[in-house]
Chain A
């Protein structure tokens, strides 16, 4: 997973100016990643090999793939594979900046390495065993639910459980979800994800569980349920949903937005759309994560 949008990474590390970045973002959705950019991304060609082929292209006017094959930089199979591969959409941002002369292929190669290692480090915080357990858990959900979890749901839940591991702790057991029409809340907060699908997300737990949850989330201790405890629940759901939409933007140029947080303490919520409840058991209490799929 990515902890920030590629454009933000470029800007905060001063690889691009504000003007270059804005101009590239505006054009990003209109272009697709070319074989030269993909070759660097997948490590099939080095930046200097790409520069060489580009130079030959200018001189000979032949296709990039044809020249790359004739010089032994790519095989026919690799070309076919690259043409059929779905690469993350953020690559096009890098490609536009190369075309604009903001950085070279070599600089792009180095930037990509740094950016990916930062993202991989984030995943490494969750060990392989936990990652496998999370995948198996989500696969098992799709077998037992009456309605299949929508396609975006798998990525959403994988990130959710990773965020539970990362910010609250790995000592939880998630039970299979159930469908529901109504739910009696205790301390509950919701946030809507809007875009080409609309989902209402809720986080609910008892007072005692909220306090323990907040202590783990903020590394502070609380004697009673107060505004900091309430804010911890809100921050967690907002942080998780935020990271989900950053990943959707980075990988698929899918622009989603978040609604403001809404409290629903000690209330009965009636759901009008398919709604899944995910019970997550921690030693300190039960957390209910609820997902109401409003539209797909």
Chain B
């Protein structure tokens, strides 16, 4: 799969954070992008479109990132989820990795880390 053929879900309650991630993705390619502003919506979109890669925040309304990972992983154990959060404490990191997240990117959002993730999980 190339980046352009991939489907990416960005889930963050901040419209600005979602825009920043989208702008960085646009530098690397043009995958199909889905957006969600809370965990509940992210699970719904995941089940409908089965994206190849998910960028997920932790502190969100309705369902937080950890609950969202658990529900997505229960639906699809092969889901590729990357946490993008400002709360990278050892408890959060442990919970996210145990639940099945592939990576944990600490905010502020770093262009290189997002592009590396795209190449790693979507690139050939």
Residues of A within 8 A of B (CB): 3-5, 7-8, 11-12, 18, 21-22, 25-26, 28, 93, 167, 218, 227-228, 231-232, 234-235, 238-239, 241-243, 245-246, 248-249, 253, 255-261
Contacts and interface: CB of A to CB of B under 8 A. Distances in A.
B60 interface: yes
B77 interface: no
A25 B17 contact: no
The number of chain B residues touching the other chain, given as a range, is 20 to 34
Interface string B43-73: 0000000000000000111000000000000
7 contacts: A11-B93, A11-B97, A22-B97, A228-B16, A239-B86, A255-B90, A259-B59
Contact of A246 (B20, B88, B97): B88
Contacts of B93: 5, 7-8, 11, 21, 25
Contacts of A239: 86, 107-108
A231 B14 contact: yes
Contacts of A227: 15
Interface in B101-118: 103-108, 113
A295 B105 CA distance: 31
Nearest to A254: B89
B59 A238 contact: yes
Contact of A258 (B19, B59, B61, B103): B59
A277 B89 CA distance: 28
B89 A245 contact: yes
A83 to B, nearest CB: 25
A192 to B, nearest CB: 11
Given A7-B93, A22-B98, A258-B87, A246 B60 contact: no
A28 B94 CA distance: 12
A153 B88 CA distance: 20
A260 B106 contact: no
Given A255-B90, A258-B87, A260-B59, A21 B97 contact: yes
B19 to A, nearest CB: 7
Most buried by A among B14, B105, B113: B14
Given A242-B85, A246-B87, A249-B89, A12 B107 contact: no
B94 A246 contact: no
Contact of A228 (B19, B90, B113): B19
A235 B94 contact: no
A231 B15 contact: yes
A49 B63 CA distance: 51
Contacts of A167: 108
Contacts of A11: 93, 97, 103-104
A248 B85 CA distance: 16
Contact of B88 (A93, A242, A260, A261): A242
A235 B60 contact: no
Could you say which of B15, B98, B105 has the most chain A C-beta atoms within 10 Å of its C-beta? Answer: B15
Contacts of B14: 231, 234-235, 238
Contacts of A7: 90, 93
A243 B85 CA distance: 10
A241 B86 contact: yes
